[in-house]
Structure 1
């Protein structure tokens, strides 16, 4: 975790690690691994920094830094998810959090808002309230204008560029999950959860391929439960037009101490395994994914 002076100190709020030669139809994205916390945000929070980090997908971007070596870009956030969440609609906002009137088009009644996890989160961890007082509504809108919207503009360009070049685009959205869930049915989690919105966001051939590669690496894999994919997977995945999006959730216990937010000795082993996965996905023949069907017909 790094504290920065203000929002300007977050510039750039994200970065794109580009390959020397863009040879792959795949884009990797790590939207929740940011760990630069504005000092004003820390001052407004009623929680200590360690508690705030519970929503962070710590080190996930580092687990996928091999992507450019195989011709695929990696986009990663520097800002923390607790500050603004780009895996939500742009205006999923809880009016109870703010002083001032939200725009009339804001989605104030989504399940994510009700759960405290809108575009500007109200809680982290086990329903711990982030803020000690209401925020000015202008501050929320500023975060959306200066961070959320540029992030998605850049991500859309990456996906569109891949689609133009290859006739197919695959977005791999990279996340991590707590090792233990809160519900009785979700107490013990697999190593990896693949989320394709139950088939709506990604071709089954792609999901099958990724699952096969993960299992060959000795990892336990499940699909869509408890994570089927968030806004990014849902919004970007359009298999009918050969644009696919697949969310990967990694069990944090595989590579880090969840209490101290430090890597443990499993990090290097998992990083090596995921580099092999990245290579397999980024260099897979397009025909394997059913690309360019029209040309084949």
Structure 2
């Protein structure tokens, strides 16, 4: 079944008039344009199927372009195709025929129902009432997933070529009930750097210190260390740094109605302050040289 969104409807790059800083911002899960064909396939209500969105994260980080960085953002929903996965993490139980031999059918994300074509949304709600054609999964990957990553690669390569290094900030949100194992503490924000493998440790610590100074309860890597995008694009030894920022939705959205709360403008302003200070830290002379040389 062909999807009924295309072109500019799929995703967009918001560009500054001139890129002034070695940053790329990415919001892969905030898309909220649901193809009617997809809604017709789903057994969920329009409200239920939105439970996996990173609600309004693209708006929370919208100050990125004013600072001089491009921002890539999805318009397609995560429940339709998840670009923060390998290209072919597919669950054979979802489809009506054999998958290609190169499909990764055994990952933990597939087992949990959250592969490239997700089986569930939050709270383990099954999306589909029946099996999907294999050809449809391949079409979503070929026409949405691959062009999205091609656009992201171009932005990163352009930035790296221009500045000598690139910092990718992968922007996400998490349910407000997320707790840290063993303590029951609810973090406001989690900075993920794949346990130090996707970004300079000094860069991650700077992000945490700035957010902490802004009054947030911030932790590193637990329970979210970063997904495929952070892992795949973060190559600190080559001057390519990738960090994931997870924000608790309880800080800015009503999780029962999925509407913004009155706290939303203040949250967006706080994140604008974070970005400004983080950019200033990363671009200062000796530190910038170190980020490029790692």
TM-score, normalised on structure 2?
Answer: 0.94
- Runs of 4+ in structure 1 over 6 Å off: none
Mapped contact 1:71–1:282 kept (Cα < 8 A): no
Question: Which deviations, in whole Å up to 9, do the C-alpha atoms of 1:170-201 show, x marking residues without a partner?
Answer: 00000000011388647542110000000000
Q: Secondary structure at the residue paired with 1:154?
A: helix
- Counterpart selection for 2:3 from 7, 15, 18: 7
- Describe how 1:70-85 pairs up with structure 2 within 5 A: 70-85=67-82
The answer for unaligned runs of 5 or more in structure 2 is none
Q: Secondary structure at the residue paired with 2:272?
A: helix
Mapped contact 1:72–1:282 kept (Cα < 8 A): no
Q: Secondary structure at the residue paired with 1:9?
A: coil
Task: State the shift of 1:289 in Å.
Answer: 7.4
Instruction: Establish whether residue 96 from structure 1 lines up as the match of residue 126 from structure 2.
Output: no
- Counterpart selection for 1:200 from 197, 201, 222: 197
What residue is the counterpart of 1:135 in the other structure? Answer: 132
What residue is the counterpart of 1:228 in the other structure? Answer: 225
Mapped contact 1:92–1:106 kept (Cα < 8 A): yes
Task: State the shift of 1:7 in Å.
Answer: 2.5
Distance 2:63 2:270 in 1: 11
Task: State how many pairs are aligned.
Answer: 291
Task: State the shift of 1:101 in Å.
Answer: 1.9
- Describe how 1:1-297 pairs up with structure 2 within 5 A: 7-12=3-8, 13-181=10-178, 185=182, 187-287=184-284, 290-293=287-290
Question: Which deviations, in whole Å up to 9, do the C-alpha atoms of 1:245-292 show, x marking residues without a partner?
Answer: 000000000000011000001100000011111222334453567443
Mapped contact 1:24–1:72 kept (Cα < 8 A): yes
Q: Secondary structure at the residue paired with 1:49?
A: coil
Q: Secondary structure at the residue paired with 2:47?
A: helix
Distance 2:16 2:87 in 1: 29
The answer for unaligned runs of 5 or more in structure 1 is 1-5
Distance 1:60 1:282 in 2: 19
Question: Which deviations, in whole Å up to 9, do the C-alpha atoms of 1:49-90 show, x marking residues without a partner?
Answer: 111111000100000111111110111100000000000000
Mapped contact 2:180–2:222 kept (Cα < 8 A): no
Distance 1:133 1:35 in 2: 23
Distance 1:250 1:187 in 2: 17
Mapped contact 2:238–2:292 kept (Cα < 8 A): no
Distance 1:162 1:223 in 2: 26
Task: State the shift of 1:8 in Å.
Answer: 3.8
Mapped contact 1:24–1:283 kept (Cα < 8 A): no
Q: Secondary structure at the residue paired with 2:34?
A: strand
